[in-house]
Structure 1
């Protein structure tokens, strides 16, 4: 059995593709019937718009199937991992990032927490995540939980590493800082938080700093994904040293 991770934001991809095809057909009709310069201009604009939409839909498919995992492989490679960490990912969907992390952390234990919305990823569901974990040979170390990233069902300091990939932006803007604070809460002092998203990353960084995290960094844009993304990394707060 092969791993099958689906497409992120499938409704958006379908809409872009459908509109691109329709506008291509319409522009062809306008070109065929044009008998004035302005008609050719309209046809050209329609065709360019169609090509833009089709390009975006193909870019999003590439982003889901290839680009996202490449960005995460680099992000995880940059962390000082031992290989036996406890890892949590919020919004793992069908598990592309969680399985990538499991391969990077061969003796670790990983948990995915999601509400499994179909509009976020095609075929989204906890069983799809577990099926991909089995196909990748890491199912014995991966658990799937129903839950909300704003109220994680875990105690403080329970994980060494927390991940979020294209997940937090799905929350109402007023709830995003709380979700980031939850990630920081469940990570032990000295552990790490890594968040990938295409919007609100500066706000995530501010929320991590407010939660006491250190070494908070926001990467440049990663153009292998559409929309282009940034990676926010931080180290969870350590207890302050007091003089004896």
Structure 2
């Protein structure tokens, strides 16, 4: 099906639910706790009066805990469906684009940043790479990314490949910009994250831009970029789309 036909049929891109197992557990635990709270009055009639007050307090606490877990799951779902698209556009809109850049999206998942970058380079090319771990994102895979690129109308200038961010299969200085969203923190340790940063630096042209959206390690990325001599290294304020603060790091290679 062509991109034009996809848009005419009202197809919408689907960039998935991040950390789906975490969201599922929050919903499950929260729902059970709320059910137990509402079941408590019936259960209290079956226990001695001396225990009733203790159980009543426990049921009340379970209820509050349950509502908290469900609210957390809802916040994470909103972050996956709405919040991350808004943050992507804010970050990409802040970068200076000529429109003919070659861009790499590291850990592209279902193509969120790949599609966003491709929309900003009508005469350029975007490559997204990933190893497609489904525990990181619901129904993750190259076909899901390609579908989103087709629906967004950018498939002609965007592609996805299976590749490890620690060993990028590209020549040195072959990209004008490198972007990444919520990907580097999935690497096992600081040495592996540094290896990925070295690869990003290797494939980025002098004068090229980098934009990294991630949780936990943003300030460490910024410190590494400064040590490598990058200019205009900036770290955003925290964003709590997925509870753990998300930071955006942008910089320019000298």
Whether TM-score is above 0.5 comes out as yes
Task: Kindly report which structure 2 residues correspond to 1:52-91, keeping only aligned pairs within 5 A, or say none.
Answer: 52-91=68-107
Instruction: Measure the CA separation in 1 of the matches of 2:248 and 2:42.
Output: 47
What's 1:242 paired with?
Answer: none
What's 1:207 paired with?
Answer: 224
Instruction: Measure the CA separation in 1 of the matches of 2:173 and 2:42.
Output: 66
The structure 1 residue matched to 2:235, chosen from 218, 234, 237, is 218
> 1:83–1:226: structure 2 CA closer, same or farther, 3 Å change rule?
farther
Instruction: Measure the CA separation in 1 of the matches of 2:154 and 2:65.
Output: 44
What's 2:143 paired with?
Answer: 127
Q: Conserved in 1, the CA contact under 8 Å of 2:238 and 2:245?
A: yes
Unaligned stretches of 5+ in structure 2?
1-10
Shift of 1:48: 1.2
> 1:233–1:31: structure 2 CA closer, same or farther, 3 Å change rule?
farther
Correspondence 1:188 to 2:205:
yes
The structure 1 residue matched to 2:127, chosen from 111, 122, 129, is 111
Cα deviation, 1:59-89, whole Å, max 9, x if unaligned, reads 1111111111111111111111111111101
Q: Conserved in 2, the CA contact under 8 Å of 1:214 and 1:235?
A: yes
Shift of 1:162: 0.5
Correspondence 1:17 to 2:58:
no
Q: Conserved in 1, the CA contact under 8 Å of 2:216 and 2:245?
A: no
What's 1:227 paired with?
Answer: 244
Instruction: Measure the CA separation in 2 of the matches of 1:19 and 1:225.
Output: 18
TM-score (norm 2): 0.88
Q: Conserved in 2, the CA contact under 8 Å of 1:31 and 1:43?
A: no
CA RMSD of aligned residues (A): 1.5
Shift of 1:225: 4.5
The structure 2 residue matched to 1:46, chosen from 52, 57, 62, is 62
The structure 2 residue matched to 1:147, chosen from 160, 163, 167, is 163
Look at both structures and tell me which one has the larger radius of gyration over its CA atoms.
2
Select between 103-112 and 120-129 the one with higher mean Cα deviation.
Answer: 103-112
Unaligned stretches of 5+ in structure 1?
239-244
Instruction: Measure the CA separation in 2 of the matches of 1:223 and 1:8.
Output: 14
Shift of 1:191: 0.9
Instruction: Measure the CA separation in 2 of the matches of 1:208 and 1:155.
Output: 20
Instruction: Measure the CA separation in 2 of the matches of 1:172 and 1:159.
Output: 26
